[in-house]
Structure 1
Amino acid sequence: MSQSIHDFHDDPRNADIRIWINGQLKSRAEATVSVFDSGFVLGDGVWEGLRVVDGHPVFLDAHLARLWEGAKAIMLDIGLSRAELTQAIYDTLAANQMHDGVHIRLMVSRGVKRTPYQDPRVTVGPATIVILPEFKLAKPETVQAGLKLFTVHVRRGYPDVLDPKLNSHSKLNCITACIQATAAGADEALMLDPHGFVATCNSTHFFIVRGGEVWTSSGDYCLGGITRSNVIQVCREAGIPVFEKNFSLTQVYSAEEAFCTGTFAGVVPVREVDGRPMEGGVPGPMVLRLQALYKALVARDVAARSV
């Protein structure tokens, strides 16, 4: 049976969480937005996922930089400074007595419209900002067993159609890719770029290991992933050859190891791609090494933020 890397064991504490919406903390039942909200009507907004470790959102500066970059690209006024939004995140964690094992969905839409139409000029209010924290960890059994991937026909698009660097609420191409992969009995969709090279997965970034080298896509057709860039960083710091380059499915099928990266689960091995098992074991030696290096980088970031 297929499963998602975002699967988690239900935590009863999530029934009583307080959700931050435009400066107010609301219960789960009260946490609603208008049917005229730009995010609901059109998917007009940007978002980030944050992992909380030892009381701190990990790599927060990088996530906020990406959020502001996306907002500027679509001319969306967030309405808060980075310091104010940071404080709101910490206030939300404090209100929920959250310290570890927490995932936050930070969402910003253009705000409420006077009529459900795409033109941003019919927006009548400020941006809608939601900070939704949950007690949520990736299932250890999923991380241990690894993911099964299936290459879908849905491609990553050109930046002049919908720029893949924009972390927008509009995720329909990733959703259709996920649907196809699930129907094929896989856990995650592997997506190609318009030229047929491997690009990314529907909700994570993809890497392979060949001859002691770590490869990932050129990055031209995928989101600028925070965990992706951190894995590249720890490879370089550790002297592991790492390359951002074009490569084909043929090179994926003959790789010793493969893995996916993402904020929610970190570094997760891939056990199979299109029916071809990885020959280096699951998790393989490189994945185990990178999991340890990434964990150490997280600890460094948390320690710096604590100071």
Structure 2
Amino acid sequence: MVHGTHNAIEDSRNKDILISINNELFPRNEAKISVFDSGYLVGDGIWEALRLHRGVLVFLDDHLNRLWSAAATVGMNFPFTKEELTANIWSTLKANDMEDGVHVRIMITRGIKKTPSQDPRLTISGPNIVIIPEYKTASKESKEKGITLFTSTIRRGSPDYLDPKLNCHSKLHEVQALIHAIEAGADEALMLDVNGFVSTCNATNFFVVKNEEVWTSTPKYCMNGITRAKVLEVCKENNISCYEKDFSLFDVYGADEAFVTGTFGGLTPVTKIDGRVVGKGNYGNMTKRLNGLYESLIEEIVNNG
């Protein structure tokens, strides 16, 4: 099995899920999109992912705000409101009789082109909206084991040509970074920014722990992670020293702990980077504490939902 932050426990129910395409439901093996779709042709699309936990779409407002910000950034006009998209998500979940342990992927492309081209003026339809809900529970074994990272030569881009905060379909640079890591025998890739400081991983945000302090990269070249933001939030609320700062691999190799964050896996410990063991090479105490605080925050939202 592939090891990494997106390891999920196998669930046979996923073979029968219904997928929403433009508000119409299709069985998994019949869910298709045109080859003239902007996302397929030139990666002209944006996406969001969130979790359904005990009947609550966790951090829904944060995810919707990030999606609408992405749309504004790429000049995509939605012919629907946040409330209408939310109703569409719930309709898809109810059609699948889903209540818990679900990962929801929302993908919105600019629409169908009249001919292969990057020119948005050649789009002849409204946006295509795909909602894929799957039963996906993160593997506890993977979380306890932790992951290994390899520093790729592929850099996180500058905001003036592809802002890392943008959740877009153009992910080839991240795929390249991950391939570097896999070929080096690691699980996932660590990526530096254009100045050589640590930025993020290929699909998650990155943190280190040094002398009871929690460090993560500045927002300048960083993915706009919602889980990242929640970790910063619980640190502040619990008087844990936490800093957004520039730091290098020198600091990473000497860290006491390291972990990554993401919507699906939450907090996942990092045990080795570039062949070097991080701290004691295990699920560290600070990472465990922060993971507990993060999970408590979710439980509070669910209980008040």
TM tier, shorter chain? over 0.9
Q: Shift of residue 18 of structure 1?
A: 0.6
Q: Is the 8 A contact 1:2 1:185 kept in 2?
A: no
Change (3 A) 1:2 1:278: farther
- Paired with 2:2 and 2:211, the residues of 1 have a C-alpha distance of 30
Partner residue in 2 for 1:54: 54
Q: Shift of residue 280 of structure 1?
A: 4.2
1:246-257 residue pairs with structure 2 within 5 A? 246-257=246-257
- Paired with 2:300 and 2:47, the residues of 1 have a C-alpha distance of 25
1:149-298 residue pairs with structure 2 within 5 A? 149-298=149-298
Partner residue in 2 for 1:137: 137
- Paired with 1:37 and 1:10, the residues of 2 have a C-alpha distance of 31
Q: Which runs of 4 or more aligned residues in structure 1 lie more than 6 Å from their structure 2 counterparts after TM superposition?
A: none
- Paired with 1:251 and 1:221, the residues of 2 have a C-alpha distance of 18
Q: Shift of residue 4 of structure 1?
A: 2.2
- Paired with 1:235 and 1:72, the residues of 2 have a C-alpha distance of 31
Instruction: Tell me the matched-pair count.
Output: 305
- Paired with 1:302 and 1:121, the residues of 2 have a C-alpha distance of 43
Q: Is the 8 A contact 1:8 1:138 kept in 2?
A: yes
1:63-142 residue pairs with structure 2 within 5 A? 63-142=63-142
Partner residue in 2 for 1:24: 24
Q: Shift of residue 232 of structure 1?
A: 0.4
Q: Which amino acid aligns with 2:212?
A: G
Q: Shift of residue 301 of structure 1?
A: 2.2
Q: Which runs of 5+ in 1 are unaligned?
A: none
Partner residue in 1 for 2:37: 37
What percent identity do the matched residue pairs reach? Answer: 52
Q: Which amino acid aligns with 1:163?
A: D
Change (3 A) 1:111 1:68: same
Q: Is the 8 A contact 2:206 2:260 kept in 1?
A: yes
Q: Residue deviations 1:184-207, cap 9 Å, x none? A: 010110000011100000000000
Q: Is the 8 A contact 1:271 1:282 kept in 2?
A: yes
- Paired with 2:47 and 2:288, the residues of 1 have a C-alpha distance of 30
Q: Which amino acid aligns with 2:263?
A: T
TM-score of the superposed pair, with normalisation by structure 1: 0.97
- Paired with 2:298 and 2:116, the residues of 1 have a C-alpha distance of 42
Describe the SS at the equivalent of 1:169. coil
Q: Is the 8 A contact 1:3 1:186 kept in 2?
A: no
Describe the SS at the equivalent of 1:220. helix
Q: Shift of residue 279 of structure 1?
A: 1.7
Q: Shift of residue 10 of structure 1?
A: 2.1
TM-score of the superposed pair, with normalisation by structure 2: 0.98
Q: Which runs of 5+ in 2 are unaligned?
A: none
Q: Shift of residue 2 of structure 1?
A: 6.5
* CA RMSD across the alignment: 1.1
Q: Shift of residue 299 of structure 1?
A: 1.4
